[in-house]
């Protein structure tokens, strides 16, 4: 829809890029694919690891499958770099599979925005690492932004 918009709009400053990153973190932590889709243009293109998507219908389907598999999902995103209409993000998230095995996924995302503030391109690369439940960073009741993440963990 041509009248859709999602501030802040490009060109980004450090502050507005940070706002976009934390808004995305909050949205994805809801695990509500129907709501998350509206941060993207209707024809948004994605590469998520080895999966290529285009459009909101495919995004919703992908996210539903993702969050049904990745149980206990908790995500943190941090601003890595930005330009006028692009933002690079580093992220970490934890989840467990149907057997109860915990995983931490580390990765980078490359985002490109349309002038209306909706994301028109998202590329993600990530790696999953098995962790023990005792190694979890993101536990119930803990805000993901208060967790101290140091380089010694990775």
User: Could you report the per-residue pLDDT of 47-81, keeping only the tens digit for each?
Assistant: 999 999 999 999 999 999 999 999 999 999 999 99
Note the pLDDT of residue 145: 83
| CA 44/CA 56 separation, integer angstroms | 7
Note the pLDDT of residue 114: 98
| CA 67/CA 33 separation, integer angstroms | 9
Would 3 be classed as within a structural domain?
no
The whole-number mean pLDDT for each consecutive block of 10 residues of the chain, a chain of 154 residues, reads: 87 98 98 98 98 98 98 97 98 97 98 98 98 91 74 50
Note the pLDDT of residue 146: 80
Note the pLDDT of residue 151: 52
- The number of folded domains in the chain is 1
Name 59's Cβ contacts closer than 8 Å, sequence gap at least 6. Answer: 33, 36, 37, 40, 44, 46, 53
Note the pLDDT of residue 2: 56
**SS3 track for 28-62:** HHHCCHHHHHHHEEEEEEEEECCEEEECHHHHHHH
Would 1 be classed as within a structural domain?
no
Note the pLDDT of residue 150: 56
The answer to whether the beta carbons of residues 76 and 19 sit under 8 Å apart is no
- In CATH, what number is assigned to the domain containing residue 32? 3.10.450.50
Would 6 be classed as within a structural domain?
no
Would 8 be classed as within a structural domain?
no
Note the pLDDT of residue 144: 84
The answer to whether the beta carbons of residues 8 and 19 sit under 8 Å apart is yes
Tokens of 103: 């995983």
Would 154 be classed as within a structural domain?
no
């Amino acid at each position: 829809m041509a009248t859709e918009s999602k501030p802040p709009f490009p060109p980004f400053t450090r502050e507005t890029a940070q706002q976009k990153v934390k808004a995305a973190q909050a949205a994805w932590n809801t695990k509500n694919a129907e709501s998350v889709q509206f941060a993207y243009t209707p024809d948004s293109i994605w590469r998520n690891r080895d999966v290529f998507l285009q459009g909101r219908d495919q995004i919703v389907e992908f996210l539903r499958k993702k969050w049904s598999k990745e149980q206990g999902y908790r995500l943190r995103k941090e601003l890595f770099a930005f330009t006028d209409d692009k933002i690079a993000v580093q992220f970490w998230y934890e989840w467990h599979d149907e057997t109860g095995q915990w995983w931490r996924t580390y990765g980078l995302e490359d985002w490109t925005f349309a002038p209306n503030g909706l994301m028109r391109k998202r590329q993600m690369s990530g790696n999953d690492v098995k962790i023990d439940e005792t190694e979890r960073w993101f536990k119930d009741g803990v805000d993901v932004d208060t967790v101290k993440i140091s380089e010694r963990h990775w």
